[in-house]
Structure 1
Amino acid sequence: MKENFYDVSDVVEAAVRIERGGTEMYLKLYESSTSHKARDVFNFLAAEEEKHAGVFRKLLESVADYTPRYNYPGEYGQYLEGIASRMTEAVKKSTAALDAKNISEAVRVAMELEKISIEFYTDVKKQFEGFGAETVQQIIDEEKGHLAKLEALGEDIKF
């Protein structure tokens, strides 16, 4: 998925929207699950996505000369929403067939989605130099940290 960004704040704004989409997805799995263990895992995954959204919101506010605008007007807002929507659609496709009882499969899919995100942001990072590239690298590092947590969770669950 190749996306062109003109400003690093756009990347961070898209990251916030993508994380919110992940939170919503895990909460839906949480709600549809009857297993206490599965609900705990989905609640953990939703909380992790929400933490990431918070980290990215703070990053967004720290981007030089940027005034947070969480609701962009007009075509530009549609452009950013389109990027986030394409990523969240990939998430939805990956999770559509998930059985809310199959915890190990859910964690495996979550790990795969983190890998896709890392690949996406790594590609986006090539569009920037200096501060912009460093900012995108912070997003990549957050995603890698989340992947490591998921890998540890997967070990605990024993795929």
Structure 2
Amino acid sequence: MFTAQDILDIAIRLEKNGEKTYLDARRHISDDELKTLLTWIAQEEHDHARWFTELKNRLTRGEDHHLIADLSRALVEDVVKGQAFSLQEVDFETIDTPDKMIRTFIGFEDDTIAFYDILKTFIDDTGIADQLEQIISEEKKHMATFREMLAGG
């Protein structure tokens, strides 16, 4: 069975992978506006990873009993099956235009939101759910900003 800690480990990996990817991408672009945006989003991903790490530490210490400790492996596998959830490395050598890069980032953000939507169904603590909803909102803002860039505005 997956535990809450296992699920939080995935969330932490998603955020750390996002942070690393956005920082790495800056070396492959010349557009200063996009570089600034990627730096800002990387910092938000870093902050999200820190929040998930703190939540995991609270669970490990037994301080937070409201998050379900055991999640059914079958349920999680059925929902998560086939989803990469942006845990894979990006090969920037194969992304030859800023538009392709931005579309890749939109996919990352969309995967992350999908995972967090799954995660929030297992949370019964209002404070934790509200914080996770805030993170989802920030991920949606990242996606919207990337879409604006694609649209030229």
Normalised-by-shorter TM-score class: 0.5 to 0.7
Structure 1 CA distance for aligned equivalents of residues 37 and 102 of structure 2: 8
- What's the counterpart of residue 105 of structure 2? 110
Say yes or no: does 1:92 pair with 2:90: yes
Closer/same/farther in 2, CA of residues 40 and 155 from structure 1, 3 Å limit: same
- Structure 1 pair 12/137, CA: closer, same or farther in 2 (3 Å)? farther
Q: Spell out the pairing of 1:16-27 with structure 2 (5 A cutoff).
A: 16-27=12-23
Q: Percent identity?
A: 19
Letter in 2 for 1:37: E
- Out of 136, 141, 146, the position equivalent to 2:139 is 146
Q: How does 1:25-36 map to 2 (within 5 A)?
A: 25-36=21-32
Partner SS state of residue 148, structure 1 = helix
Q: Closer, same or farther in 2 for the Cα pair 1:88/1:146, shift >3 Å?
A: closer
Q: How does 1:121-140 map to 2 (within 5 A)?
A: 121-126=116-121, 128=122, 130-131=124-125, 135=128, 138-139=131-132
Matching residue of 1:78: none
TM-score by length of 1: 0.60
The letter of the residue matching 2:58 is S
Question: Which AA in structure 2 matches 1:143?
Answer: I
SS at match of 1:28: helix
Which sections of structure 2, spanning at least 5 residues, go unmatched?
A: 64-83
In the other structure, the counterpart of 2:42 is 46
Q: Equivalent residue of 1:130, what SS?
A: coil
Q: Whose helix fraction is larger, Structure 1's or Structure 2's?
A: 1
Q: Structure 2 counterpart of 1:92, which letter?
A: V
Which residue of 1 is the match for residue 148 of structure 2?
A: 155
Q: Does 2:58 align with 1:65?
A: no
Superposition CA RMSD, Å: 3.4
Size of the aligned set, in residue pairs, is: 132
For residues 5 and 137 of structure 1, do their structure 2 counterparts lie closer, same or farther at Cα, with a shift above 3 Å needed? farther
Distance 1:28 1:54, change over 3 A: same
Whole-angstrom distance in 2 between the partners of 1:96 and 1:122: 32
